Structure 1
Amino acid sequence: MLPSIPFNKPYLSGLEPRYIEEAVRSGKISGDGMFTQRCHRFFEEQLGFNKVLLTTSCTDALEMAALLLDLRPGDEVIVPSFTFVSTPNAFVLRGANIVFADSTAVNPNIDPACLSELVTPRTRAIVPVHYAGIACDMDAIQAVASRHGLAVIEDAAQAIDSFYNNRPLGTIGSLAAFSFHETKNITAGEGGMLSINDARFAQRAEVIREKGTNRSSFFRGEVDKYGWVDVGSSFLPSDIIAAYLYAQLEQLTNIQARRKTIWQAYYEAFRSLVAQGVGLPALPAYATNNWHLFYLVCRTLAERTALIDHLKERQILAVFHYLPLHSSPYYAAKHDGRTLPWADHYSNCILRLPLYYELNADLQYRIIDGVLSFYKNH
């Protein structure tokens, strides 16, 4: 029997255990230890971010963003329907109403053309999600936000090392959230990061992350004692998590080069399927590719289901992605009733193929052959 091919396998540089041991031996394994500071410096000094704070998850980073905006019950936040539940949930927890936007015909990113008509006097923010690490049309989104005085919060969960017109994703909106979940290019198992691009939020973000205290200022010697000064929660991760993450960050160039090779091999192999009506990832001129995932857009839900089964018979795990949130059991009754056809289309038709560092040429050939053999008969 052929060995099974998983959808994902986390990359391991080999230095993770060593750095974790260093963190443990340092005597400080709670938040903001030496490896947390190394990670912060990596993003700020090497990747050009203004200010970042590691968090325990991307979800936590989004929840911090919602707190920083001082959202109140009845406020509205515009979010794509085709995204993970963490994106709207962070704002729902603050009492905000979610206004779902459709995707574009080109790719699953939020459609800027529909945003203006969704804005009301209660709208506070737009949350674009850079699906598959491919940039949303940020100039168009920022133009709407500027015209109506709205904040833009980038959900950059999948977007590390990806750019919009030469600007790193996560540095464009007022705030941005990243994920280091084990399915991401760079991983800490779990973990995330808040990127702070509007200086007005910088000091308060530290307070919110430290349970509503000014403890960070105390450790810098800026105050002689710290106390409870704002709302907040325990959003900062252990330095053990940061140690694991730093070992990955050091290998960013290597990881990305390998993922690029795999992604491009898929793209070249499946270009012929376009003539049959099968969609491939689309890269707008303003965006770069960080090779986070490779997907096919099947023609129908039935076709995707059959292809998943076809690959499963060959010990290959390929998976679909998000269910549309506007019709979810929790939010359907709260949605305003608009149809969002592209969100439904991608939910029904996207199929993600295995893509991870250790996926060698022989295994990838099996996947490619499995897909092509399916379409030869369809």
Structure 2
Amino acid sequence: MKIPFNKPYLTGKETSYIEQAVRSGKISGDGIFTKKCHEFFEQRYGFRKVLLTNSCTDALEMAAILLDIKDGDEVIVPSYTFVSTANAFVLRGANIVFADSNDQNPNIDADSIEPLITSKTKAIVVVHYAGIACDMDKIKAIAEKHGLYVIEDAAQSIDSYYEGKVLGSIGDLATFSFHETKNVISGEGGMLAINNKSFAERAEIIREKGTNRSAFFRGEIDKYGWVDIGSSFLPPDIVAAFLYAQLENIENIQNRRKEIWQRYYTGLKELEENCLIKLPQIPHYATNNAHMFYILCGENERDDLIQHLKKKEILAVFHYLSLHKSRFYHDKHDGRVLPNADSYSENLLRLPFFYELEENDQHMIIREIKDFYS
């Protein structure tokens, strides 16, 4: 493919930092680069506590354990999201109650949440799609009224804000992804942000196979043992070394991605003005971290556009399929129709987006989309 959908970007120091980690004599979890990454996030963004994980999926599974999710508990989750958002809670026995997206962007419709709450509801999980904030004041007010936890699935949301508050700092817990398609990457990789201090100590234990090993290594106890449930959620330090090289360059990466995003928006605006496609909308309370650029095609147009671009060696891809219609959860869903989630599933198309996307190639993509609609 001449223009791929994604291409991982190397800042230049990844391999030298990995070598440093190896030479330090500790390449398992919580080495020198893991600590550097933790300090970066806590100092730059003001998270109360963060813990690197092997993936955002791991971080979500940790969140489900921390909330003591049990059989019969209900968790409200948007249908238009990646499977891990729901699966992490299903693994603990939860019944997932799917919410629709709003009609302005794929984020959860905050106004649809309260009617879904029952005596069994334990948490609301929100997904900041494309790094664009959900309506967090409204969602937090609903949660506080009903005594519910809020988890931010901020997988796509590094360096993005809601009313001046960094995404991932608003809910009780938040999860991030450093998958190779994200703004800053480590191949796979994730992070749990802990904003509710009551979870801080237990989060360390769950991440270390249910042991208080972290406290032992800090010299706070004279021996460690098995004190809770958990698993091996911590990543090797060589993964953190790769990530730290990316974090050192986050401003450069973000500036470049915002340039690419704006070029798409400006180049395709004419098609939106002619009512042929819809472009992303950024609410007044949200910032744009340029995680992705998507367009919304008209009914039954997306597959043809994908094929048109593929013939020109341009790889554009659709995204999530509504989870309430999935083979696994269809029979468990309560039967409500979620029209906005289905519309995004059927019509949203993501365009190639990566740091090294050349301006000429981007103009070619824009030109081919315009040709399709002409």
Question: What TM-score comes out, normalization by structure 2 length?
Answer: 0.99
The answer to whether structure 1 residue 291 and structure 2 residue 274 are counterparts is: no
- Structure 2 equivalent of residue 43 of structure 1: 41
| Letter of the structure 1 residue corresponding to residue 260 of structure 2 | I
Please point out which of 345, 348, 367 is paired with 1:347.
345
- Structure 2 equivalent of residue 168 of structure 1: 166
Map of 1:8-47 to 2, 5 A cutoff? Answer: 8-47=6-45
- Structure 2 equivalent of residue 280 of structure 1: 279
- Structure 2 equivalent of residue 337 of structure 1: 335
- Structure 2 equivalent of residue 193 of structure 1: 191
Distance 1:348 1:230 in 2: 43
Cα pair 2:276 2:373 within 8 Å, conserved: no
The answer to whether structure 1 residue 205 and structure 2 residue 203 are counterparts is: yes
Map of 1:99-248 to 2, 5 A cutoff? Answer: 99-248=97-246
- Structure 2 equivalent of residue 79 of structure 1: 77
Please point out which of 263, 266, 278 is paired with 2:264.
266
- 275-284 vs 60-69, which deviates more? 275-284
- What's the offset of the Cα at 1:135? 0.3
Distance 1:277 1:270 in 2: 10
Distance 1:44 1:116 in 2: 32
- Structure 1 equivalent of residue 302 of structure 2: 304
| Letter of the structure 2 residue corresponding to residue 194 of structure 1 | L
- Structure 2 equivalent of residue 328 of structure 1: 326
- Structure 2 equivalent of residue 91 of structure 1: 89
Distance 1:207 1:284 in 2: 38
Distance 2:5 2:75 in 1: 33
- What's the offset of the Cα at 1:14? 1.1
| Letter of the structure 2 residue corresponding to residue 345 of structure 1 | S
Q: Deviations over 1:221-279 (max 9, x none)?
A: 11000000000000000000000000000010000011000000000011111232411
| Partner-residue secondary structure (3-state), 1:276 | coil
Q: Deviations over 1:343-376 (max 9, x none)?
A: 0000000000001000011110110111011111
| Partner-residue secondary structure (3-state), 1:128 | strand
Unaligned runs of 5+ in 1: none
| Partner-residue secondary structure (3-state), 2:204 | helix
| Partner-residue secondary structure (3-state), 1:107 | coil
Map of 1:336-375 to 2, 5 A cutoff? Answer: 336-375=334-373
Distance 2:211 2:70 in 1: 22
Distance 2:277 2:139 in 1: 29
Distance 1:244 1:120 in 2: 44
Distance 2:73 2:66 in 1: 14
Distance 1:257 1:58 in 2: 24
Distance 1:276 1:214 in 2: 58
Distance 1:75 1:64 in 2: 16
- What's the offset of the Cα at 1:47? 2.1
Distance 1:268 1:262 in 2: 10
| Partner-residue secondary structure (3-state), 1:126 | strand
Distance 2:270 2:335 in 1: 38
| Partner-residue secondary structure (3-state), 1:177 | strand
Distance 2:291 2:368 in 1: 21
Distance 1:212 1:313 in 2: 52
Question: What TM-score comes out, normalization by structure 1 length?
Answer: 0.98
Distance 1:190 1:216 in 2: 23
| Partner-residue secondary structure (3-state), 2:317 | coil
- Structure 2 equivalent of residue 54 of structure 1: 52
Distance 1:200 1:238 in 2: 26
- What's the offset of the Cα at 1:299? 1.1
Q: Which contiguous aligned blocks of 4+ residues in structure 1 show a shift greater than 3 angstroms?
A: none
Q: Report the RMSD for the aligned CA atoms in angstroms.
A: 0.6
- What's the offset of the Cα at 1:64? 0.2
Q: Deviations over 1:136-169 (max 9, x none)?
A: 0000111110110000000000000000000000
| Partner-residue secondary structure (3-state), 2:176 | strand
Distance 1:114 1:203 in 2: 34
Distance 1:50 1:271 in 2: 40
Distance 2:69 2:43 in 1: 32
- What's the offset of the Cα at 1:48? 1.7
Q: Deviations over 1:39-66 (max 9, x none)?
A: 0000001222111000000000000000
| Letter of the structure 2 residue corresponding to residue 299 of structure 1 | G
Distance 1:33 1:364 in 2: 40
Distance 1:364 1:269 in 2: 9
